[in-house]
Chains A and B, each alone.
Chain A
Amino acid sequence: MNDLARLIDACDEAPARQALACQDRGLVRPILRRRPRGLRDMALLLSPAAGGLLDEMAVVAAKHTLERFGKARQLYAPLYVSNYCSGSCPYCGFGKQEGLVRRRLSADEVVDEAMVLRSLGMRHLLLVSGDDPVMADERFLAEVASKLRPSFSSLSVEVPSLPSQGYETLVAAGVDGVTLYQETYDRDAYEKYHCLGPKRDYDDRLHALSRAGQAGVYRLTAGVLLGLSPLALEALRLMAHIGYLQRTSWRSFVGVGVPRLRSVPAGFEVPHPVSDRDLVQLMLALRIAYPDLGITLSTRENPLMRDRLSLVAATQLSAGSRTEPGGYRAPGAAADQFRIFDERSPEQVAQSLQRQGLDPVWKDWDSCFLGESTWRKPTGL
């Protein structure tokens, strides 16, 4: 077992478990006045005791967010390239189900979709696919990235885990970010929900972001799907993973996403639902534990939640999202992954941020970072 796996497992040992169950606010308050250190401090931030200190946590979190990120909040859009999936996760709209309309866009169709987003102001794209390594292989993704690169400042992918060479191929094609959620760090739950396809391999997935970092990927985004396993321990393991990535992939900017499972396919019941209050505590704990962490908030949350959390913790927001391939040009033509709870357009999200005294940032990267091959003469100033 390697360092990362050992670290994740240590979250389930007695000292961390005791801290996760802490009811004594007096043990949490000192951590709000200094930099949290080690698993015990992280666990205390996730404890019931900390849950009684949300207002105090929000003040600390907001201060960290302001100091590190100022008033800028970055906007991006997901672009689904394929909904083929070899997995069978019962909570996902792309799982193996009868009668699902499957589609993989051609590279040119991806560009057409992307241009719709560009016309709305988007310069940061997240290319998403179902977990099918054949339908979303690195060669296809590299082709897509090469075509998009002249028109977009930043390209990230949320696709099946890849070997090191796969990530190197994507970096060479212009991909600067990889989002890959472990979904759950609970090995038993993981095994239960991932019984088909390459995603079955927990440890391969666990180490994928490290491989991406070594391959030169700038943005690494880890995460869990909240609701698959008891929240506190799941969150602590996520925090341990973040700390590991920051130490070992130190040239990369580490971020996190913590989407809640809310609308799920018929027949599946979320085993450990996460309340609004729980989500807020987790976001605050993440910010306090890691002041420089990128925190993404997707359209799985409603406008009020996204607006409020942007003030204290979240730094990146998707906007105007469609979760089916081809959905920007032809909504509803294929099966979508999940229901959107924030239907506002990118412009409306931007205006809402501005009303709160925040600056919506459409561009905060340049493809020219990644090599001479991407350099292009600008159209002028």
Chain B
Amino acid sequence: MEDSLVIAGRSFSSRLLVGTGKFSSNRVMAEVIAESCAQIVTVALRRVDLDAPGEDMLAAIDRKRCLVLPNTSGARDAQEAVRLARLARAGGLDPWVKLEVTPDPRSLLPDPIETRRAAEILVKEGFVVLPYMPADPMLARRLEDAGCATLMPLGSPIGTGRGLKTRDAVGIIIEQAKVPVIVDAGLGLPSHAAEAMELGADAVLLNTALAIADAPVLMARGFRLAVEGGRLAYLAGPGGESPTARASSPLEGLLA
């Protein structure tokens, strides 16, 4: 069954996106990416040394197999995010950007106003913009109107591993969205990823849950299978829950 994730006209067979921070080494990170089968790998531009190509984490990513998605981690306002995106493009990366505007370095929660402002500018400049955002359905509409290629609502705050605490709002965003919805941040276990996919998310993005696991590569496999399982369940159409027992057939006991 053909079931690709399509973002801005580009197809990906994997619905698991992977971040590159917090790993113990570039080697472990590369093994995790390989095991996860991720085809989109996001990299913080603040960590990339554009003047020393080949010496940093970019060199550890198989760029024939993966799209390197630069992110604007650390940007505190729209201007900083826009500058970082331009820097990445000037450095030779594809004009795709995971937009992150997080003015509070403690909570790392996205600033909706500055995110929307940066999105408008970057879309006009020809970037494919994937915005990290609070799980706010109205903001989602606004970002879609601005021309964003995806919506990336958070499941819970970055690095917390608490799972899909924003389930209801993410459900509304999925229902109304015309672009892919990728749940980003806060997923700590494969079951969290499966829950997001069963809900109808088009993909999930992971970093901390993989990087800080005792066995990151094994965890990557767990998440990959959970994402695939959750997606299959969504496509299969879950029967839903019932407060009382239901017979397998509504006709049971009626016909001899």
Contact = CB atoms under 8 A, between A and B. Distances in A.
A363 B46 contact: yes
Interface in B61-79: 74-76
Contacts of A252: 105
Contact of B93 (A292, A358, A381): A381
Label chain B's interface by main secondary structure: loop
B40 to A, nearest CB: 17
Contacts of A380: 50, 53, 91-92
A365 B74 contact: yes
A377 interface: yes
Contact of B84 (A72, A359, A366): A366
A123 B103 CA distance: 23
A101 B21 CA distance: 45
Contacts of A67: 159-161, 208, 212
B22 A375 contact: no
Interface in A216-251: 218, 246, 250-251
Interface string A345-381: 0000000001001110111111011011001011111
A271 interface: no
B31 to A, nearest CB: 14
Contacts of A371: 83
Q: How large is the interface on B (under 10, 10 to 19, 20 to 34, 35 or more residues)?
A: 35 or more
A199 B104 CA distance: 31
Nearest to A362: B49
Q: What bracket does the count of chain A residues touching chain B fall in?
A: 35 or more
A70 B208 contact: yes
B18 to A, nearest CB: 14
B158 to A, nearest CB: 10
Contact of A363 (B25, B47, B76): B47
B224 to A, nearest CB: 20
A365 B87 CA distance: 13
Contact of A358 (B24, B50, B106, B159): B24
A369 B74 contact: yes
Contacts of B83: 368-369, 371-372, 375
B159 to A, nearest CB: 6
A379 B104 contact: no
Report whether over half of chain A's contact residues are helix, strand or loop; otherwise say mixed: loop
Taking each of A69, A372, A375, A378, which has the highest tally of chain B beta carbons within 10 Å of its own beta carbon?
A378
Contacts of A308: none
A353 B35 CA distance: 25
Contacts of B227: none
Interface of A: 66-72, 123, 153, 218, 246, 250-253, 292, 354, 357-359, 361-366, 368-369, 371-372, 375, 377-381
6 contacts: A251-B104, A292-B106, A359-B24, A368-B84, A381-B92, A381-B93
Given A153-B49, A372-B83, A378-B87, 13 more contacts: A66-B212, A70-B21, A70-B22, A70-B23, A71-B24, A72-B23, A153-B46, A250-B104, A251-B105, A369-B76, A377-B90, A381-B50, A381-B93
Interface of B: 21-26, 45-51, 53, 56, 58, 74-76, 80, 83-84, 86-87, 90-93, 103-106, 159-161, 208, 211-212
Give 9 closest A-B pairs by Cβ, nearest first: A70-B22, A378-B50, A71-B24, A253-B105, A378-B91, A381-B92, A357-B24, A292-B106, A70-B211
